[in-house]
């Protein structure tokens, strides 16, 4: 699993030493640290009001170092927390499916999967192309795993974000409409002067979120080129 600055990760608090929190990063074999100033805004009287060993928390990646990953708890937005918790729930569900099929082989297979990806992302990709899964567990067991996943009622994820996009140019409104109307996979709604909501639905929460992020990136680039004001809410 490749981790980059800005990623939102589900973590489990491993231990607290002084004012540093050490965590295990879900979906990988990697660990991270959070310093006191990145736990919460303002003065912290009792660190354990925010984190305790074995607690699941959602963190943002600040820096990826050779020997450690520096994280932040306070910089994570409410929407990002919700999405990450949904992903974590799906991750656990997929691990349970592997356990039901692979039995005692599961720990070894999970270790190999997590070296490159999360279990959820790996198995979602396997739905379209099962070759990698077949290499790991064999054709027969790969077929059983994918059949169970298909029989499960797929959860539809709804991701929504808001942007502010205004232009002082005479044709500014038409420019905004053109940019926003080019993307058919994301639903766009006008909220108020210069404010819009972008929403998308899908079975894969990461891909659903990426659709919106790609559109936001495109809008931001166009806004800069046309001297428009742009910001995310």
pLDDT in tens, 161-212: 788 777 666 565 566 667 666 666 777 777 777 787 888 877 677 778 877 8
Is 233 or 232 the better-scoring residue by pLDDT? 232
Calculate mean pLDDT across residues 90-99.
90
Q: What angle do the packed helices 78-102 and 119-128 form, to 10 degrees?
A: 70
pLDDT(39) > 80:
yes
pLDDT(125) > 60:
yes
- pLDDT (0 to 100) of residue 30: 87
pLDDT(216) > 60:
yes
pTM attached to this predicted model: 0.55
8-76 homologous superfamily: Nucleic acid-binding proteins (2.40.50.140)
pLDDT(155) > 70:
no
Average pLDDT, the chain: 84
**DSSP conformation class of 152:** S
- pLDDT (0 to 100) of residue 66: 78
Contact residues for 149 (Cβ-Cβ < 8 A; gap 6+): 94, 97, 123, 127
Lowest-pLDDT choice from 38-47, 58-67, 192-201: 192-201
Lowest-pLDDT choice from 93-97, 99-103, 113-117: 113-117
pLDDT(233) > 80:
no
With a pLDDT cut of 90, the percent of the chain lying above it is 39
Is 222 or 72 the better-scoring residue by pLDDT? 72
* Matching CATH number, 157-232, of 3.40.109.10, 3.30.70.100, 3.30.70.1130, 3.40.50.300: 3.30.70.1130
């Amino acid at each position: 699993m490749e981790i980059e600055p800005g990623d939102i990760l589900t973590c489990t608090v491993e231990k607290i030493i002084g004012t540093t929190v050490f965590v295990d990063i879900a979906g990988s074999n990697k660990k991270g640290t959070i310093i006191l100033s990145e736990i919460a805004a303002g003065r912290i009287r009792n660190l354990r009001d925010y984190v305790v060993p074995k607690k699941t928390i959602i963190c943002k990646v600040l820096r990826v170092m050779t020997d450690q990953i520096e994280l932040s708890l306070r910089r994570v937005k409410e929407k990002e927390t919700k999405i990450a918790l949904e992903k974590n729930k799906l991750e656990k569900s997929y691990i349970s499916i592997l356990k039901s099929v692979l039995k005692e082989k599961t720990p070894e297979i999970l270790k190999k999967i997590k070296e490159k990806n999360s279990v959820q992302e790996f198995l979602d990709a396997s739905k379209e192309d099962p070759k990698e899964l077949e290499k790991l567990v064999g054709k027969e067991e790969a077929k059983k795993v994918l059949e169970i996943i298909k029989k499960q009622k797929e959860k539809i994820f709804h991701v929504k974000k808001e942007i502010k996009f205004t232009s002082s140019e005479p044709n500014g409104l038409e420019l905004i409409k053109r940019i926003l109307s080019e993307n058919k996979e994301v639903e766009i709604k006008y909220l108020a002067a210069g404010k819009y909501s972008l929403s998308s639905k899908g079975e894969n929460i990461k891909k659903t979120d990426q659709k919106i992020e790609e559109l936001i990136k495109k809008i931001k680039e166009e806004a800069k080129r046309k001297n428009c004001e742009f910001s995310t809410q």
